[in-house]
Amino acid sequence: MELTEKDKSLFNTLMIFGCIYGKNAKESFGDGIDYPRKRFCKLKQHNYINTSGKLVFLGTNGKEYLMNCGNVLKEISRKNEIRVRRAEIYKASKMIKGFQSFVPSWDIKNTEEVNANYKHSIMEY
Q: What is the pLDDT of residues 14-59, one digit of tens each?
A: 998 999 999 888 888 877 788 888 999 999 999 999 999 999 999 9
In this predicted structure, what is the pLDDT of residue 36?
86
Is 21:55 a contact under the CB 8 Å cutoff?
yes
| Domains parsed from the chain with CATH numbers | 5-98 (1.10.10)
Q: Taking Cα atoms as reference points, which of 1, 93, 90, 95 lies closest to residue 46? A: 1
Flag whether pLDDT at 118 surpasses 80: no
Q: Give the pLDDT confidence of 60-115 residue by residue, as tens digits.
A: 999 999 999 999 888 888 888 989 999 998 888 887 765 556 666 666 666 555 55
> Residue 106: its pLDDT value, please?
64
Angle at 108 (CA atoms; ends 81, 75), nearest 5 degrees:
45
Q: How many CA atoms lie within 13 A of 21 on its CB side?
A: 13
